[in-house]
Amino acid sequence: MRYVLALDQGTTSSRALLFDRESTVRAVAQREFDQIFPQPGWVEHNPEQIVSSQIVVAREALAQAGAKLADVAAIGIANQRETTIVWNRETGKPIYNAIVWQDRRTADFCERLRSEGNGPMIQQRTGLLIDSYFSASKISWILDSVPGARSLAEAGKLAFGTVDSWLVWKLTGGRVHATDVSNASRTMLFNIHTGDWDGDLLNLFRVPRSMMPEVRSSSEAYGEVSENGLEGIPLAGIAGDQQAALFGQRCTRPGLTKNTYGTGCFMLQNTGRRAVPSSNRLVTTVAWRIGNVTEYALEGSVFVGGAVVQWLRDGLGLIRKSEEIEALAQSVPDNGGVYFVPAFVGLGAPHWDSYARGSIFGLTRGTTAGHLARAAVESIAYQVADLLDAMRRDSGDAVEELRVDGGAAANDSLMRFQADILGVPVVRPAVTETTAMGAAYLAAMAVGFWGNEVGPPAGGRDRHFEPRMPASAARSLRERWSEAVSRAKNWESAH
């Protein structure tokens, strides 16, 4: 067998990548799907559209490479995490749209849980802070808001899954209802120390255990695809997209750190077999489980990273294509005193403010589209720097370099600015498809594609960005950014 197929199911598109034995990408197919915004702060997807788009691109990738089904050793899945789907076990149909990780409809519910003193218990067991970002409150909302849902759930007729579980269910014709530990650890219902669903948390969120998928390791044979033109290929690896990227970046030793620049930004640091509790409002998460060994990571999540560029494109019309942002941002020598806090759906780590909203400060008559573009790009780097500061304090590890991937990592000026603001080198790999690569590696390991090895030799570095800005200048910029963030906080509830 010549290939491993990675399904990279993201927030705005479904992608499929075919890797050969040298870890070279032989084919890529991508299809965007609808983003549904029923109310301000609400974000949904059509679950059937997620599946259909993923199947279409998988077939397209095979066709591009002229590959037959028998050429594919295994399928690995990397998926947008926390996004919540509930479906009827008998019909296989969702009872509501997928509620996306960005969705804030349960912010008030989560605030009530915090005020009732549930925070320490939830953080101790799950490694997570109470927030509507995670799946638990989304499941509760569906059961309480969809007519008849709770009685169906209590009768054992409903199934819950994050996107990986939903894909596995559909690809296996409903034979397999499972998830891996990395995705389970993002639900706020999974005890990361016992490795199982937590009965007290299920009761707190009023979620019947019968809804929950079986939790399995990140690299094992889950079952074979039974339909959809991919018949017979083993599903053999699953990881949440950020854990997959950590694995794909070869951050397999404690202290190694990566940041993915996607719709949001996600920084993970491998902490080995130790689940490091956070005192700086990060989350402790499962990185992966291979065999009987579970490894952990510290994680900080920025809700709006590359999405700020999409907003400049689609919302304001400042650019026609996302790639144009770099040239527009570089059309001015600096940000002109403009700071852009892209808190469109609140602020993630380390602030965790569901009521913050997007804000732009420092506008003058001299402000141009270039200044707005530059402030938007710089906002991504500032948010990442806030994460790394918190991570350093929690782990006590000196971060010697930041490994980067994701769409915006291709922006050289952003990477240079990122290195300047962090004060550490930024390293971009030669192959930036690290999320898909991580999923492919996990699947390949399960079927012995590379013998006993994780994968072929690492592909090397594309660019190494050294910090050049004086530390005093970087500190001054970050102080101004922090002031802007403080003013954007608590906007929604301030009135």
Q: 163-171 and 47-65 helices cross at what angle (nearest 10)?
A: 70
485: nearest Cα among 401, 410, 389, 370? 389
Least confident of 193-197, 352-356, 357-361: 352-356
Q: Give the annotated binding-site residues for ADP.
A: 11, 15, 263, 306, 407, 411
Cα 115-119-125 angle, rounded to 5 deg: 155
Distances (CA, A) of 177 to 10, 165, 263, 348, 461: 20, 6, 28, 30, 39
Phi, psi angle pair for 302, to nearest 5°: -105, 125
Helix (H, G, I), strand (E, B) or coil at 122: helix
Least confident of 241-255, 325-339, 371-385, 450-464: 450-464
What is the distance, to the nearest Å, from the Cα of residue 488 to the centroid of all Cα atoms in its chain? 24
Q: What is the pLDDT of residues 35-45, one digit of tens each?
A: 999 998 899 99
State the pairing for strand pair 283-290/293-302.
Answer: antiparallel
- Establish if 443 belongs to a structural domain: no
Averaged pLDDT, 378-386: 94
Q: Give the annotated binding-site residues for glycerol.
A: 81-82, 133, 241-242
Say whether both 89 and 156 belong to one domain: yes
- Establish if 271 belongs to a structural domain: yes
Say whether both 231 and 285 belong to one domain: no
Say whether both 207 and 261 belong to one domain: no
Say whether both 300 and 347 belong to one domain: yes
Q: Which domain holds residue 217?
A: 3-242
Rounded to whole angstroms, the Cα distance separating 395 from 222 reads 34
Q: What is the pLDDT of residues 123-146, one digit of tens each?
A: 999 999 898 989 999 999 999 999
Query: Looking at 242, 273, 306, which one is the last position of a domain?
Result: 242
Share of the chain above pLDDT 90, in %: 71
Say if residue 350 is preceded by a cis peptide, omega within 30 of 0. Answer: yes
Q: What is the pLDDT of residues 295-304, one digit of tens each?
A: 999 999 888 8
Q: What is the pLDDT of residues 200-210, one digit of tens each?
A: 999 999 999 99
139: nearest Cα among 182, 188, 89? 188
- For residue 102, the domain's CATH number is 3.30.420.40
Query: Looking at 213, 242, 271, which one is the last position of a domain?
Result: 242
Say whether both 216 and 297 belong to one domain: no
State the pairing for strand pair 13-19/402-405.
Answer: unpaired
Say whether both 168 and 225 belong to one domain: yes
| pLDDT score for 192 | 96
In this structure, are residues 422 and 388 in contact, taking their beta carbons and an 8 Å threshold?
Answer: yes
| Average predicted confidence (pLDDT) for the chain | 91
Least confident of 70-74, 167-171, 428-432: 428-432
Q: What is the pLDDT of residues 245-260, one digit of tens each?
A: 999 988 988 889 999 8
248: nearest Cα among 273, 272, 268? 268
- Establish if 84 belongs to a structural domain: yes
Say whether both 274 and 207 belong to one domain: no
- Establish if 214 belongs to a structural domain: yes
- Establish if 453 belongs to a structural domain: no
- Establish if 446 belongs to a structural domain: no
Say whether both 134 and 13 belong to one domain: yes
Say whether both 208 and 348 belong to one domain: no
| pLDDT score for 450 | 78
Rounded to whole angstroms, the Cα distance separating 52 from 427 reads 35
- Establish if 447 belongs to a structural domain: no
What is the distance, to the nearest Å, from the Cα of residue 494 to the centroid of all Cα atoms in its chain? 30
Averaged pLDDT, 338-351: 89
In one-letter notation, the amino acid at residue 259 is N
Averaged pLDDT, 285-297: 94
In this structure, are residues 325 and 414 in contact, taking their beta carbons and an 8 Å threshold?
Answer: no
Cα 172-174-176 angle, rounded to 5 deg: 70
Report the predicted TM-score, pTM, of the whole model to 2 decimal places.
0.85
Query: Looking at 211, 242, 273, which one is the last position of a domain?
Result: 242
In this structure, are residues 379 and 338 in contact, taking their beta carbons and an 8 Å threshold?
Answer: no
User: Is the pLDDT assigned to residue 432 strictly greater than 80?
Assistant: no
| pLDDT score for 324 | 86
State the pairing for strand pair 283-290/461-465.
Answer: unpaired
Rounded to whole angstroms, the Cα distance separating 346 from 491 reads 9
User: 461 versus 207: which is more confidently predicted?
Assistant: 207
Say whether both 146 and 259 belong to one domain: no
**Residues in the chain, how many?**
495
Bridge partners, 77 (sequence order): 7, 238
**Residue 452 banded pLDDT, cuts 50, 70, 90:** low
User: Which residues make Cβ contacts (< 8 Å) with residue 85, sequence separation at least 6?
Assistant: 47, 94, 98, 160, 161, 162, 163, 165, 166
Q: Give the annotated binding-site residues.
A: 11-13, 15, 81-82, 133, 241-242, 263, 306, 310, 407, 411
Distances (CA, A) of 367 to 235, 236, 339, 474: 52, 52, 11, 22
Q: Give the annotated binding-site residues for sn-glycerol 3-phosphate.
A: 11, 81-82, 133, 241
User: Is the pLDDT assigned to residue 53 strictly greater than 90?
Assistant: yes
| pLDDT score for 422 | 93
How many structural domains compose the chain? 2
- Establish if 437 belongs to a structural domain: no
Bridge partners, 353 (sequence order): 347
Say whether both 282 and 306 belong to one domain: yes
Say whether both 49 and 134 belong to one domain: yes
